[in-house]
Amino acid sequence: MWETAGTAEKSNGSMTAEMQITKTAQSRLDQVDLENPGFGVVFSDHMFEINYNDGEWQAPVVGPYRALEIAPAISTLHYGQAVFEGMKAFYNEDALRVFRPEAHHKRFNVSCQRMCIPETDYATFINGIETLLSLDKEWVPKAKGQALYIRPFIFATDNYLAVQVSETYKFLIITSPVGAYYKEGINPVSLTTSEEYVRTVRGGVGTVKTLGNYAASMLPAQKAKNQGFTQVLWLDAVERKYIEEVGTMNIFFKINGTLVTPPLEGTILPGVTRDSVIQIAKDWDVPVEERKISIDEVLRRSKDGELEEVFGTGTAAVISPVGTIRHRDTTISINGDEIGPFAKRLYDEITGIQYGARPDRYGWIHTVQPERW
C-alpha cells in the first residue's frame, strides 16, 4: 500500500535535516463529501510524525494517515502529559493560506514548557505543514467558511506507570477538512454561567492547550447543553465573579463603543484570534480594554442598554456572536439575538484576510504553493 517517494531536503533547523516522505498508494479523497466535511471527522491522506528519544527529536517522516500502535502503559493515557495546537489553511486560487502559524508555534512551545515536553523548532513545524499541504492540496475545501484544519500535537510515550516526566515523545501533525464549527453557523450562541464548576485557577494549566483542561470541561458543557445552552461561560474560580472565557473561545463585550475582554492573567488561554481582534479593533480606532469584567457588570450594562454586542473568538468559529447569557435566574438577550454589526465587520475582515479577499496588512498569512498547483 505504501509507495516510497524518497526523501526531501526540507529543514535547516536544529531538529533535523532530512524528511522521509512516503505517499499513499490509495487516496481516500473519493470517499469524502468535501462540500459537507463536518468538523474534525475526516482526515486527509497523509500525516507528519517525529519521535523524540535519546534526548533529541529524530528525523521527520511524512506518510499515509494511519492508526498508531501504542503500549498500554504510555504515560499520556494515564497522566495526560501532552499538548496540542489548532490552526487553519484556506483555499485561494493562487495559493493555500495558513493563518498565523508562527503565533501558533510559539504557543505550542509555551504549552510544551508547562508540560515538561521538549520544544520543537519553527522550521520543522512549518516544513511539516507545507509538506502535508502539498501532498493533500486536494483535501482543502474551497467554499467560504470551509478550511483545512491543522492539528499538531505531542504526547509522552514512555511505557511506564510511574508519574514522572517521559523521556520519549511523538510529535504528529494531522489535517482535516472542516466546515463551520457551530451548527448554528454565524447565528448567535447561548451561554450559561456555572455555579458548580470552574475551568482553572491561576498557577494551573488553563493558559496552555493541554488535555486535562478539555476533559474537565466536558461534564459542565454537557450539563449546559442539557439545559438548552451552547456552552458554559466560565467565571473565575476564586471569587466566582469575573468572566474568563467560553469552551474553546475567548470572549469580547462591546459596551458603549468600547471593546472589553478579560486580561491574560494566568487563567485564560491566549487566543491567536483574540490577539488578531485586538489588533484590528485598535487599527479601526475602536478603544480596547483588557480588564476584569464581572458577570454583574454585564447584566447591569445590558439592563442600562449599554451592552451592544458579545462575541467569542477562536480558530474554529473565528467570530461567534453570543445572543443569550444566563446567570442564575437572570437571562439577557443581546442585540435582539442577532449578530451585531461590529462582530460582522470583524468576521468579514478576518475571513477576508484568511481567504485573500482583503490585504494581509499584518503579515499573518503564510502562503504555500504546492508543486504543480
Ligand X SMILES: *Cc1c(COP(=O)(O)O)cnc(C)c1O
Residues of the shown chain interacting with ligand X in the complex, contacts defined by CB under 6 A: 86, 209, 245, 248-250, 269, 271-274, 313-315
Residues in the chain: 373
* Cβ 176 vs Cβ 42: under 8 Å: yes
For ligand X, the closer of residues 11 and 207 by Cβ is: 207
Q: How far is the CB of 315 from ligand X (least distance, A)?
A: 3
d(CA 302, CA 163): 48
Cα 318–chain centre separation: 10
Closest CA to 65 of 77, 49, 52: 49
- Residue 204: CB minimum distance to ligand X, A: 12
Query: Do residues 366 and 122 lie in contact, with contact meaning Cβ atoms separated by under 8 Å?
Result: no
Say how many C-beta atoms besides its own lie within 10 A of residue 128's C-beta: 27
Q: Compute the least distance from the CB of residue 39 to ligand X, in Å.
A: 13
For ligand X, the closer CB: 97 or 274: 274
Euclidean distance between CA atoms 260 and 265, whole angstroms: 15
Which position has the grid cell 535535516? Answer: 17
* Centroid of chain to Cα 85: 6
Compare residues 16 and 250 and give the one whose CB is closer to ligand X: 250
Torsion of CA 300, 251, 267, 231, to 10 degrees: 90
Helix (H) or strand (E) holding 343: helix 341-355
76 or 261: CB nearest ligand X: 261
* CA nearest neighbour of 342 among 258, 247, 249, 226: 258
Report helix, strand or coil for 28.
Answer: coil
CB 82 to ligand X: min, Å: 14
Q: Using DSSP, state whether 262 is helix, strand or coil.
A: coil
Minimum distance from CB of 331 to ligand X (Å)?
Answer: 24
Please, which residue, 86 or 179, has the CB nearer to ligand X?
86
Q: CA-CA distance, 157 to 174, in Å (whole number)?
A: 18
Provide the minimum distance between the beta carbon of 272 and ligand X in the complex, in angstroms, as a whole number: 3
The least distance separating ligand X from the CB of residue 67, rounded to whole angstroms, comes to 26
Cα 17 to Cα 3, 13, 123, 124, 334, distances in angstroms: 22, 7, 10, 9, 54
Nearer to ligand X by Cβ, of 10 and 199: the residue is 199
- In terms of CB distance, is 81 or 313 closer to ligand X? 313
Instruction: Judge contact between 87 and 147, C-beta under 8 A.
Output: no
**CB closer to ligand X, 37 vs 314:** 314
- DSSP assignment, residue 337? G
Is the Cβ of residue 87 or residue 156 nearer to ligand X in the bound state?
87
Nearest distance, CB of residue 200 and ligand X, angstroms = 9
Compute the least distance from the CB of residue 151 to ligand X, in Å: 11
Task: Specify whether the CB–CB gap between 132 and 46 falls below 8 A.
Answer: yes
